[in-house]
A and B are shown apart, each in its own frame.
Chain A
C-alpha cells in the first residue's frame, strides 16, 4: 500500500494524474507536463515534495557524527540556516544517497533524503550512529514539504504567506534557510530556477497549497520536476548515480571535501585512490543533433569507439531538442561527436557541458 501526502486529496481534486513513486502516490502532472515545465521556467510552479524524508539529527555529538557520515564537510556550516548538498557513501565509495543538510544550531541539523531510499538511509544512519554518543535521530513524518520554483516563485510565496514570511525571507541568500512561525523556508530547489522549499506541519499544507495557487503558482507534477532537473544538470539518485558509482564518476566531485586531510569520512580511502589513479568513467551531457528522444539505457558510441550509456534522457521543453546525461569513458571530451542507438538506428549527438539550462536560459553553445 503506497503512502499519501497531506496534499493527495487536493491533487486529485485538481485533476492530477497519480503515479506510484518511491512508495508514494504522487502527481505526475495536472494536464500538461510541458506547460508545467514552462510555468517554472517563466513564472512560478510548485511541487509537493512531501514524499522526501525529513529527519532531524539532534545532540552534541551530531557535528562530529556528520563529519564522518557524509563526503562533503559539515564544517562549512557555521551560520544558522546554511544548507549543504552532499553524498552519503558506503565503504566502497558508492553513493547510498544524496541529501541536503540544513544547519539549525550546533546540536541540531536537519536532513532531507530521497523517498525511495528513506528506509535504507535511516538504517545506515542508525547503524553508523551506534558507536557514537550524543546523536538522536528523529524522523519527522509530521512535516510536509512544498517546493515553489521559478523567477516569480519567491514573490508569489510572499504574497501567499503574508508579511511575516516576506520579512523573514526577503534577504535570504541562495542555499540558506530561515525558520518563521511554523514554516522552515529554504532558498533551495531542484529546477535550476530561484525559489523556496518550504517545510511545514502536515495539517497546514493544504491551506498553504491553496494560498499559493491563488497567488498564481501553478501546481506541477513529478514529470516536470524530472525534465527541469535534467535541464539544470542535476543528478537523480538511482539513475545517474547509485551504490555502484562514486561521486567522482557521477559529476559530483565538487561535493567531496578533501580538506582537512584527516577527516576520515566513510568511503574516503576508495575515493582518494580513485583520484590518485584517475577515474575510468565519468558523466557527460549529450544533445541529440538528429530528431528523436534520448532515454536512459540507450547505448552511446563515442568518436574513439568507446561505449557508454545514457543514465537520464528526455526531450527538453526549453531547448526543443533531446538532452541526456551519459556515463562514458573518461577520454571523451566536450565538443566530441558521438552516436546514440535508438530503435536500431545510430543518431548523431554532441558532447556538451551541463547544465543545459539555468535561470530560464540555454547554456548550450551553438551546435
Chain B
C-alpha cells in the first residue's frame, strides 16, 4: 500500500496539496501516481506569475512510459516552481511528498482546500482503480 500522508489533501487525479505556513499551497503528485507512471524523465512546470484555475492542466510529467497532465487542485497564482526537477525529474520518484514538490501557488480562495479529498477518501480512489 502506498504512503498517503495524513497532513495533505488530495485530488482524484492524484495530486497532493500542502497548506504551508505562509498560506501558500504546495502541489505535487502522490506516491501512487509516480508508481503507476514509472521512472520520470521530464517535467514541464507552469510559469511563475501565471494564474491557474481549479482543474486546469498546468504542468506535465513524462516517464519513460508516457506523458501525464498535472491539474491545479485549486485556482491561484503560481509563486514558485521546483526548478531542481528540470535536471533531476527522478526526484519525484524518490521523494514525491517533499523534495519532489512541483509548484507553489497563492490561492484565490484559502478555503478551496476544504473541497479536496482527505487521506481516507483518496485511499478509496486508489482502491477503486485497482
Report, as a range, how many residues of chain A touch the other chain: 10 to 19
Which residues on B sit within 8 Å (CB–CB) of A317?
64
Please tell me which stretch of A122-130, A170-178, A291-299, A328-336 contacts chain B, meaning at least 4 of its Cβ atoms lie within 8 angstroms of it: A291-299
Pairwise interchain contact B64-A34, C-beta atoms closer than 8 A: yes
- Give me 24 A-to-B residue pairs in the complex whose CB atoms sit less than 8 angstroms apart, sorted by A's number: A17-B38, A28-B38, A28-B65, A32-B38, A32-B39, A32-B93, A33-B38, A33-B39, A33-B64, A33-B65, A34-B39, A34-B41, A34-B64, A223-B64, A227-B64, A292-B42, A292-B44, A293-B41, A293-B62, A315-B41, A315-B62, A322-B42, A343-B44, A343-B60
Which of B38, B42, B90, B93 is in CB contact (< 8 Å) with A293? B42
Minimum distance in angstroms from A45 CB to a CB of chain B: 15
Minimum distance in angstroms from A193 CB to a CB of chain B: 18
The total of Cβ contacts below 8 Å across the A-B interface reads 40
Main secondary structure of the interface of B (DSSP, over half): mixed
Minimum distance in angstroms from B130 CB to a CB of chain A: 12
A41 interface residue per 8 A CB criterion:
no
B121 interface residue per 8 A CB criterion:
no
Pairwise interchain contact A293-B67, C-beta atoms closer than 8 A: yes
Minimum distance in angstroms from A323 CB to a CB of chain B: 12
A29 interface residue per 8 A CB criterion:
yes
Which residues on B sit within 8 Å (CB–CB) of A343?
44, 60, 67
Closest to A342 in B: B67
A314 interface residue per 8 A CB criterion:
yes
Minimum distance in angstroms from A85 CB to a CB of chain B: 26
**A317 to B63, alpha carbons, bound, how many Å?**
11
Number of chain B residues whose Cβ lies closer than 8 Å to a Cβ of chain A: 14
Question: B residues touching A (Cβ–Cβ < 8 Å)?
Answer: 38-39, 41-42, 44, 60, 62, 64-67, 86, 90, 93
Minimum distance in angstroms from B94 CB to a CB of chain A: 11
**A291 to B65, alpha carbons, bound, how many Å?**
16
Pairwise interchain contact A314-B42, C-beta atoms closer than 8 A: no
Minimum distance in angstroms from A7 CB to a CB of chain B: 21
Which residues on B sit within 8 Å (CB–CB) of A322?
42
Which residues on A sit within 8 Å (CB–CB) of B65?
28, 33, 223
Given contacts A227-B64, A292-B42, A315-B41, 12 further A-B contacts (CB under 8 A): A28-B65, A32-B93, A33-B39, A34-B64, A223-B64, A223-B65, A291-B86, A292-B44, A292-B62, A295-B66, A315-B42, A315-B64
Which residues on B sit within 8 Å (CB–CB) of A34?
39, 41, 64, 90
Pairwise interchain contact A29-B86, C-beta atoms closer than 8 A: no
Which residues on A sit within 8 Å (CB–CB) of B64?
33-34, 223, 227, 314-315, 317
**A17 to B37, alpha carbons, bound, how many Å?**
11
**A37 to B44, alpha carbons, bound, how many Å?**
24
Minimum distance in angstroms from B118 CB to a CB of chain A: 28
Pairwise interchain contact B38-A291, C-beta atoms closer than 8 A: no
Which residues on B sit within 8 Å (CB–CB) of A295?
66-67
**A33 to B93, alpha carbons, bound, how many Å?**
12
Which residues on B sit within 8 Å (CB–CB) of A314?
64
**A33 to B62, alpha carbons, bound, how many Å?**
14
What 0/1 readout, one digit per residue, does chain A (340-367) give for beta carbons within 8 Å of chain B? 0001000000000000000000000000
Closest to B42 in A: A293
**A223 to B63, alpha carbons, bound, how many Å?**
11
Interfacial residues of chain A within 260-303, with CB under 8 A of chain B in the complex: 291-293, 295
**A32 to B64, alpha carbons, bound, how many Å?**
10
Minimum distance in angstroms from A322 CB to a CB of chain B: 8
Minimum distance in angstroms from A224 CB to a CB of chain B: 9
Minimum distance in angstroms from B40 CB to a CB of chain A: 9
Closest to B36 in A: A17
Closest to A288 in B: B42
Minimum distance in angstroms from B17 CB to a CB of chain A: 24
**A293 to B44, alpha carbons, bound, how many Å?**
11
- Pairs of residues from A and B, 10 with the lowest C-beta to C-beta distance, nearest first: A315-B41, A34-B39, A293-B62, A293-B42, A33-B64, A33-B39, A33-B38, A315-B64, A32-B39, A292-B42
**A314 to B42, alpha carbons, bound, how many Å?**
11
Which residues on A sit within 8 Å (CB–CB) of B44?
292, 343
Pairwise interchain contact A29-B38, C-beta atoms closer than 8 A: yes
Interface centre among B39, B42, B86 (most CB of A within 10 A): B39
Minimum distance in angstroms from A335 CB to a CB of chain B: 25
What 0/1 readout, one digit per residue, does chain A (199-238) give for beta carbons within 8 Å of chain B? 0000000000000000000000001000100000000000
Pairwise interchain contact B42-A223, C-beta atoms closer than 8 A: no
Interface centre among B41, B42, B62, B90 (most CB of A within 10 A): B41
Closest to A224 in B: B64
